[in-house]
Amino acid sequence: MKTQKELLKEALVSEEEQPYKVLENWVWVKLGHIVSVKTGKKDANHATEDGRYPFFTCASEPISSPTFSFEGDSIILPGNGANVGLVLYFSGKFEAYQRTYVLQSQVAYLKYIYYHLLFGWKAHNADKQYGSATNYIKLANITEYSMPLPPLNEQKRIADKVEKLLDKINQAKQLIKEAKETFELRRAAILDKAFRGELTKKWREDKTVKSIYLNSEKNNVSFELPTGWKWIKSVNLFNDFPRNGYSPKSTDSSFNTKTLKLGAITKGYYKDNEFKYIDESIDQDSHLWLKNGDFLIQRANSIEYVGTSAIFTGPDDDCIYPDLIMKGKVNEAIVLPQYLVLWINSMYGKQYFRQNATGTAGNMPKINKTVLQNLLVPIPPLEEQNAILKILNNISDSDSSVMNRIEEIQPNVDLLVNGILKKAFSGELGTTSNEDESAIELLKRIT
């Protein structure tokens, strides 16, 4: 039988392995010595509709189970798949499937352990995953995880303060999310007014404009157009109708040909830092070389982004475009390129492409040339298109300054979370007390 001294030595993290120094009455400890670790059951039943208890698998969201194997305060760690690194806290009765680890403790304050895992668990597992087809972690990933352990009362004070601070941060995140959603709804409402002719109603009263010369197509969109506007199929809006690019093997070399990534236009505008290199030379007279002002549209992507378009604003002949993007030349005698992009990226364009994409049950929904050709676009006279774009740009400039500020705040909020947790586990949150016994005494009682 091992002596208490030997057990303590196994539980403690050696001085040379400690990431940083902690307060005098704290110790560095291996997680396996202060928690019990169990896994769920292979035959756990989660299929019934009358499930009364949450059922945890390696997914982040629980489903239902008519039985339970665990109860009380628990930390739940997915053991394989994409959610390795996720940390969940649950209090109550629940069931779990195999490869889902359940941590409980009778000797340490579990919420304190939970917050430390939020701080360090994902990074700890970054280079400690196994398997080829499906990644997984081993029990040792948990038992050998090292963390600073303060006295029990200090654990509670730290966890309580962290919880209050994180609640405030989560409230701030929710406000940021709501602000973004409000701006998106506002933008959608303004675009809706633009495409119905409502933004330029007063403008039309003061102008006599020449109507476009094409016949209006039969319209299946649920609103009528102002006088002088027409529904035109996309096939009639291009001098060179968009066609697919080319995607040969990529390379790490920066001396070869540049090609766009899908992310270059996923936001609805061109981003010049989204490119890679291909291991092939392209003829200088190839149609693949992009020119400033080219129209680009994603023919394949997730269902959220398929059909997203943008205008290429980079220099001529600087890069080519991939097979998942189509490129064309807009007929600017009929439609302004940016007006067309706004329609395609609006709720109307997105809805059309989602309804007509193929392979929506797979990983990469696609649209083809025919789908794009049949897209109906509400076309006002060119002078009114210019007026619409001018109004939208003025609104966009005002909104962008607010949105840019929101975008600047969000990363700082995330950094604040990390900063709070770092201070918490260094004893810098102002929760320490000289009256607390050393954590080593707590370990002595449990070893």
CA distance 68 to 341: 53
Exposed e or buried b for every residue in 204-224, given b needs 16+ CB within 10 A? beeeeeeebeeeebeeeeeee
d(CA 337, CA 343) in angstroms, rounded, equals 10
In the predicted structure, residue 352 carries a pLDDT above the cut 80: yes
* Residue 71 near residue 38 (C-beta atoms within 8 A): no
The yes-or-no verdict on residue 304 having pLDDT over 60 is yes
pLDDT in tens, 143-168: 999 999 999 999 999 999 999 999 99
* pLDDT value at 100 more than 90: yes
The per-residue pLDDT for 394 is 82
Instruction: Say how far residue 54 (Cα) sits from the centre of its chain.
Output: 26
Beta-ladder partners of 358: 366
pLDDT value at 26 more than 70:
yes
pTM of the predicted protein model? 0.67
Banded model confidence at residue 435, pLDDT cuts 50, 70, 90: confident
Looking at residue 379, its pLDDT comes to 95
- In angstroms, the CA 289 to CA 319 distance is 6
pLDDT in tens, 319-351: 999 999 999 999 999 999 999 999 999 999 999
Q: What is the pLDDT of residue 216?
A: 66
pLDDT at 109 over 60: yes
Q: What does the mean pLDDT of the chain come to?
A: 89
Phi, psi angles (nearest 5°) of residue 347 = -60, -30
State residue 4's pLDDT score. 78
pLDDT tens column, 401-430: 677 777 777 778 778 888 898 999 999 988
Given a cut of 70, is residue 399 above it in pLDDT?
no
Contacts of 162 (CB under 8 A, 6+ apart): 115, 420, 421, 424, 429
